[in-house]
Structure 1
């Protein structure tokens, strides 16, 4: 069995999903971000795990039964590396996801966990060249993430190369689209399962016409 980590930023107006503005306002972008986080936590909460941890930048309540640890580090690469190190459980692989793929399902996460149980590392590629999930059997391998420049079209490629340099060549998970701009939010909302808070928030606060698509 695995440990599940969700790395997230508290949904505070002006600090999250700023690339949705415009057409969103900082307030509505934060509402959409909060819905994305809620859906992500719900999906992760439905998957069997040794422990679930919210790795948080800011102040936001963790679901009942979840641990919460603060993010630390100067850049996202360092924050990711510390997330694995600060939550390490001896002998338990960790699967980390972000809050930008609210269409993720428990079935996808369970499949990722099974693959991680058979491999030293796994990675879920994102359509923009980054990644939405990273699983490591050995938390020490996360040190390879510190120098990787995140949020670029080369992030996925560079993450793979960094892990290969440690002998931890990752197996590939399903590809997902993450939410950066308004067009992403609309596409991801359409892919969300029924009852999605994210899809409801996008429908309420973001329209095709406003997004210019």
Structure 2
């Protein structure tokens, strides 16, 4: 059986091109620095699982050309890198799931279980991802809800990715506080009962730094 895939969706942390809500209060340089450190932390956790042989890591990047993306991934210790491409967040995530399956052995009837995460959780740890992988052994769909109405993790079992289902990625009001609610409704419409992980708080604006006082000085 193939290892589960872990897709890390990331934006190149260039000043003025990331963390715009945070940049409104901290400035574009400090906001970009926080984004860079968050990405490095996320990849450290992801690489730890990959080095233990528990997942196959895929780094999905936006904001860089192909050669520069490969150099950045190499600097972060990641060998499998893809560009996110154009389109909504849902279209870009679905594209990454499709690419995971394209590397999957064609003779295996079930698709490769896939997790997708972003890079906005200062307290992300191995346990969070291991819980998601464990849940996907019994559930087809796993969601890690975020306090802003979105989610910090999306998990699809092998049964939902061959062929890749469209409903978690299409018709979602990305960027709104309705993302989780609409996603769960679409799951219900498709007859899929999700497993919900613990709620976490994405780091998007200055107020989001307060729960992580121990991290604040290090991040800023």
Q: TM-score, normalised by structure 2?
A: 0.82
Indicate if the aligned counterparts of 2:145 and 2:199 stay in contact, CA closer than 8 A.
Answer: yes
Alignment of 1:47-58 (within 5 A): 47=49, 48-58=53-63
TM-superposed CA distance for 1:132, in Å, is: 0.3
In the alignment, which residue of structure 1 is the partner of 2:198?
A: 174
In the alignment, which residue of structure 1 is the partner of 2:145?
A: 125
Partner of residue 92 from structure 1, selected from 95, 112, 127: 112
Between the two proteins, the alignment pairs up a number of residues equal to 196
CA distance in 2, matches of 1:25, 1:12: 12
In the alignment, which residue of structure 1 is the partner of 2:171?
A: 147
Indicate if the aligned counterparts of 1:17 and 1:180 stay in contact, CA closer than 8 A.
Answer: yes
Which region of structure 1 is more displaced relative to structure 2, 48-57 or 129-138? 48-57
RMSD after superposition: 1.9
Displaced runs of 4 or more, over 4 A: none
Alignment of 1:1-213 (within 5 A): 1-47=3-49, 48-59=53-64, 60=69, 61-62=72-73, 63-88=76-101, 89=104, 91-137=111-157, 138-139=160-161, 140-187=164-211, 189-190=212-213, 200-202=218-220
Tell me the alpha carbon deviations over residues 133-186 of structure 1, each in whole angstroms, 9 at most, x when there is no partner: 000012212454122111211100111112233333211011100011101023
CA distance in 2, matches of 1:22, 1:14: 10
Indicate if the aligned counterparts of 2:167 and 2:187 stay in contact, CA closer than 8 A.
Answer: no
CA distance in 2, matches of 1:191, 1:172: 27
CA distance in 1, matches of 2:218, 2:170: 36
Q: TM-score, normalised by structure 1?
A: 0.84
CA distance in 2, matches of 1:155, 1:8: 19
